[in-house]
């Protein structure tokens, strides 16, 4: 039988209203867990005083250097004793989810049982980096909980200056926009770095994220050090049945205002069927007996907009792979940075292609480990040393797709110009 509940007038407020309430969940757990009775006491105190009361520390599992986020209460009475002693420790286990965050009920029930036995019974699906967060365990229960989760086939994610847990979109499993096997890339890349996930020894955190197309459902450009985003090189595919169906339903105004006008490079045109251009970069599809859409694929920037609007009528091509960007991150320390294109296109079809992706990840991490300052993210390092030094460090050739514009300031020493031109010409020639 659990101890008496603390009064929680402010938290109680959060039980009203239609959205599912985490407070109701906390109360259900508190019915037979003293742990959660006191957790609610501390949380209510935060609501009353508008202050947080957790501090970090060191708690881990045997063999690993990270993956558990330790929390100890700072809410103490005059004698230094915790005001809510049963919840004085409230550690979180970060656990890596399957790619695409798929589960069956059997595995979810097993996770719930384990966490009810060893932890608070509170689980977040998922944190912002993708971990399943098993929230709230006492120090002496962390190992037991981990052991059982680990036996189920799950492993801790990263924390601290480590490779962090990754995320991939639903992609190939259920999305027609998917341009590669996200789950495979996610698993193959991340599992190369298992050691760097479990034993934090990098200058700072490093995140990979995998999106199957440039809709970038995983928000990888802004939030990962290495973003792998699906795209294609050949022509857009079309389906006349679905195009006609779309047009019957939506009509000319929507076609013009919502599809044609919104193409960022103005590459879609409405044409009479008889006037459609010919050429190996042209895709076209009839929307009725006399008119059709014409797309000049050489000017399509693969933004996905028209494909999103006319799903199935327009679809990405079949020569698929990914664009890779490096250096995205949020605020600390120099402000927000987006990832920068470092590989405009990497095919992702064969075993060798996926191996190449893994090798690139390895090079980027090795370079980061050797060259970043302490507490410096990849994007900050690139800003400090310049993109060219970074590319040379990981052995990638420069490409005009890496910039929005060439340089505007003249402060550059260009005495190697002729050599560079010669190298680039030789390379072009070799490529035939």
Q: What single-letter DSSP state applies at residue 152?
A: T
Residue 267, contacted partner among ligand HEM, other proteins, ligand SF4, none, CB below 5-8 A by kind: ligand SF4
Task: Please report, as residue ranges, which positions from 113 to 172 form the binding site for ligand SF4 (by CB under 6 A).
Answer: 169-171
Q: Which are the contacts of 197, defined by CB distance < 8 A and separation ≥ 6? A: 66, 67, 96, 156, 157, 158, 162, 163, 164, 165, 190
Residue 97, contacted partner among ligand SF4, ligand HEM, other proteins, none, CB below 5-8 A by kind: other proteins
326 lies in the site for other proteins, by CB under 8 A: no
195 lies in the site for other proteins, by CB under 8 A: yes
122 lies in the site for other proteins, by CB under 8 A: yes
Provide the minimum distance between the beta carbon of 268 and ligand SF4 in the complex, in angstroms, as a whole number. Answer: 5
The number of C-alpha atoms within 13 Å of 12 and in the hemisphere containing its C-beta is 5
Backbone angles phi, psi at 292, to 5 degrees: -150, 165
181 lies in the site for ligand SF4, by CB under 6 A: no
The pattern of x and - marking residues 360 through 399 that bind other proteins according to CB under 8 A reads --------------xx------------------------
The answer to whether residues 259 and 307 touch, using CB atoms and an 8 Å cutoff, is: no
198 lies in the site for ligand HEM, by CB under 6 A: no
Residue 28, contacted partner among other proteins, ligand HEM, ligand SF4, none, CB below 5-8 A by kind: other proteins
Binding ligand SF4 by CB under 6 A: which of 215, 222, 291, 311? 215
Q: Site for ligand HEM (CB under 6 A): how many residues?
A: 14
Burial of 355 per CB tally in 10 Å (0-12, 13-18, 19+)? exposed
Binding ligand SF4 by CB under 6 A: which of 196, 216, 376, 380? 216
Provide the minimum distance between the beta carbon of 60 and ligand HEM in the complex, in angstroms, as a whole number. Answer: 15
Provide the minimum distance between the beta carbon of 160 and other proteins in the complex, in angstroms, as a whole number. Answer: 12
Residue 265, contacted partner among ligand HEM, ligand SF4, other proteins, none, CB below 5-8 A by kind: ligand SF4
Q: Say if strands 68-69 and 320-326 run parallel, antiparallel, or are unpaired.
A: unpaired
Binding ligand SF4 by CB under 6 A: which of 185, 268, 387, 391? 268
Burial of 160 per CB tally in 10 Å (0-12, 13-18, 19+)? middle
Residue 207, contacted partner among other proteins, ligand SF4, ligand HEM, none, CB below 5-8 A by kind: ligand HEM
**Which residue is nearest to ligand SF4, using beta carbons?**
212
Residue 268, contacted partner among ligand SF4, ligand HEM, other proteins, none, CB below 5-8 A by kind: ligand SF4
Structure tokens at 336: 């927000």
Between 183 and 381, name the residue whose CB sits nearer to ligand SF4: 183
Provide the minimum distance between the beta carbon of 344 and ligand SF4 in the complex, in angstroms, as a whole number. Answer: 15
Burial of 286 per CB tally in 10 Å (0-12, 13-18, 19+)? middle
Stretch that binds ligand HEM, among 126-134, 195-203, 360-368, 408-416 (CB under 6 A): 126-134
Produce one character per residue of 184-193: b if its CB has 16 or more CB atoms within 10 Å, e if not: bbbbbbbebb
Q: Give the SS3 label for residue 355.
A: helix
Which of 361, 320, 304 shows the shortest CA–CA distance to 186? Answer: 361
257 lies in the site for ligand SF4, by CB under 6 A: no
Provide the minimum distance between the beta carbon of 149 and other proteins in the complex, in angstroms, as a whole number. Answer: 10
Which of 146, 154, 162, 149 shows the shortest CA–CA distance to 197? Answer: 162
CA atoms of 342 and 348, how far apart (whole Å): 16
CA angle, corner 23, sides to 19 and 25, nearest 5? 90
221 lies in the site for other proteins, by CB under 8 A: yes
Phi-psi region of 101 (alpha: psi -120 to 50; beta: other; left: phi over 0): left
Binding ligand SF4 by CB under 6 A: which of 49, 265, 355, 401? 265
Q: What single-letter DSSP state applies at residue 329?
A: B
Produce one character per residue of 229-240: b if its CB has 16 or more CB atoms within 10 Å, e if not: bbbbeebbbbbe
Binding ligand SF4 by CB under 6 A: which of 213, 285, 360, 364? 213
Between 117 and 330, name the residue whose CB sits nearer to ligand HEM: 330
96 forms beta bridges with: none
Q: Would you give the end-to-end CA distance of the chain in angstroms?
A: 79
| Binding site residues, ligand SF4, CB under 6 A | 169-171, 175, 177-178, 211-213, 215-217, 263-265, 267-268, 295, 300-307
| Binding site residues, ligand HEM, CB under 6 A | 69, 94, 126-131, 157, 165, 207, 223, 330, 332
């Amino acid at each position: 039988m659990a101890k008496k509940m603390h009064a929680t007038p402010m938290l109680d407020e959060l039980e009203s209203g239609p959205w599912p309430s985490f407070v109701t969940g906390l109360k259900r757990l508190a019915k037979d867990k003293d742990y959660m009775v006191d957790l609610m006491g501390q949380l209510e105190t935060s609501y009353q005083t508008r202050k947080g009361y957790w501090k970090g520390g060191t708690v881990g599992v045997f063999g690993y250097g990270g993956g558990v986020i330790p929390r100890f209460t700072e809410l103490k009475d005059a004698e230094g004793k915790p005001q809510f002693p049963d919840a004085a420790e409230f550690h979180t286990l970060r656990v890596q989810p399957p790619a695409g965050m798929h589960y069956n009920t059997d595995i979810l029930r097993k996770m719930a049982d384990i966490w009810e036995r060893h932890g608070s019974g509170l689980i977040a699906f998922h944190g912002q980096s993708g971990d399943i967060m098993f929230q709230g365990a006492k120090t002496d229960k962390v190992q037991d909980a981990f052991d059982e989760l680990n036996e189920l086939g799950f492993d801790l994610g990263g924390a601290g200056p480590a490779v962090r847990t990754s995320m991939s979109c639903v992609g190939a499993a259920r999305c027609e926009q998917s341009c590669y096997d996200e789950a495979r890339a996610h698993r193959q890349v991340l599992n190369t770095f298992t050691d760097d996930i479990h034993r934090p020894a990098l200058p700072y955190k490093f995140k990979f994220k995998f999106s199957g197309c440039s809709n970038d459902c995983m928000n990888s450009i802004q939030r990962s050090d290495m973003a792998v985003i699906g795209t294609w090189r050949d022509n857009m595919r079309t389906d006349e049945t679905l195009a006609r169906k779309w047009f019957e339903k939506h009509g000319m105004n929507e076609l013009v205002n919502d599809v044609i006008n919104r193409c960022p490079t103005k590459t879609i045109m409405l044409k009479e069927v008889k006037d459609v251009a010919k050429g190996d970069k042209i895709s076209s599809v009839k929307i009725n007996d006399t008119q059709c859409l014409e797309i000049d694929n050489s000017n399509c920037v693969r933004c996905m907009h028209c494909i999103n609007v006319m799903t199935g009528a327009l679809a990405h091509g079949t020569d698929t792979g990914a664009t890779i960007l490096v250096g995205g991150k949020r605020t600390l320390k120099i402000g927000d940075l987006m990832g920068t294109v470092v590989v405009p296109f990497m095919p992702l079809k064969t075993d060798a292609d996926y191996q190449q992706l893994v090798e690139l990840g390895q090079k980027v991490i090795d370079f980061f480990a050797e060259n970043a300052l302490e507490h410096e993210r990849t994007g900050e390092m690139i800003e400090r040393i310049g993109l060219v030094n970074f590319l040379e460090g990981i052995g990638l050739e420069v490409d005009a797709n890496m910039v929005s514009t060439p340089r505007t300031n003249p402060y550059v020493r260009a005495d190697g110009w002729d050599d560079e031109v010669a190298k680039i010409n030789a390379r072009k020639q070799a490529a035939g």
